[in-house]
């Protein structure tokens, strides 16, 4: 199986701000725009509204979670 590459959405910055900052920004933005599983209706519709606030598009359920990902279970580099 081929290794899946992370989309490089920080390419818009060109060579500015340094590679480490661009990489970290990229990881955060991908996590932020991802859809997560809603703890109430179990649909993958949980979306980011603002820092620490997440809402489900299906049932309107709103939770406070991590700043850029709703559940801080996975390890962050
Ligand atoms: Zn829901």
CA angle 8, 12, 16 (to 5 degrees): 105
CATH number at residue 57: 2.20.25.30
Decide if pLDDT at 20 tops 90: yes
Decide if pLDDT at 4 tops 90: no
pLDDT at 77: 47
Domains held by the chain: number = 1
Mean of pLDDT values over 53-77: 83
pLDDT at 6: 79
pLDDT at 10: 92
Is 14 domain-assigned? Answer: no
Residue 61: give the domain boundaries. Answer: 35-77
**How many angstroms does the Cα of residue 43 sit away from the middle of ligand 1?**
6
Is 75 domain-assigned? Answer: yes
pLDDT at 1: 59
pLDDT at 5: 78
What confidence tier does 73 reach under pLDDT thresholds 50, 70, 90?
low
**How many angstroms does the Cα of residue 23 sit away from the middle of ligand 1?**
31
Is 29 domain-assigned? Answer: no
**How many angstroms does the Cα of residue 54 sit away from the middle of ligand 1?**
11
**How many angstroms does the Cα of residue 19 sit away from the middle of ligand 1?**
37
Strand 46-50: give its sheet, edge to edge. 46-50, 53-56, 62-64
In the three-class reduction of DSSP (H, G, I as helix; E, B as strand; rest coil), residue 67 is classed as coil
């Amino acid at each position: 199986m081929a290794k899946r590459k992370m989309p490089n959405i920080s390419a818009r910055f060109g060579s500015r701000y340094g590679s480490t900052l661009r990489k970290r920004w990229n990881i955060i933005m991908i996590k932020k725009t991802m859809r997560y599983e809603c703890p109430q209706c179990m649909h993958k519709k949980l979306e980011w509204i603002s820092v620490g606030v997440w809402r489900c598009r299906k049932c309107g359920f709103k939770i406070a979670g991590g700043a850029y990902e709703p559940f801080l279970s996975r390890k962050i580099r």
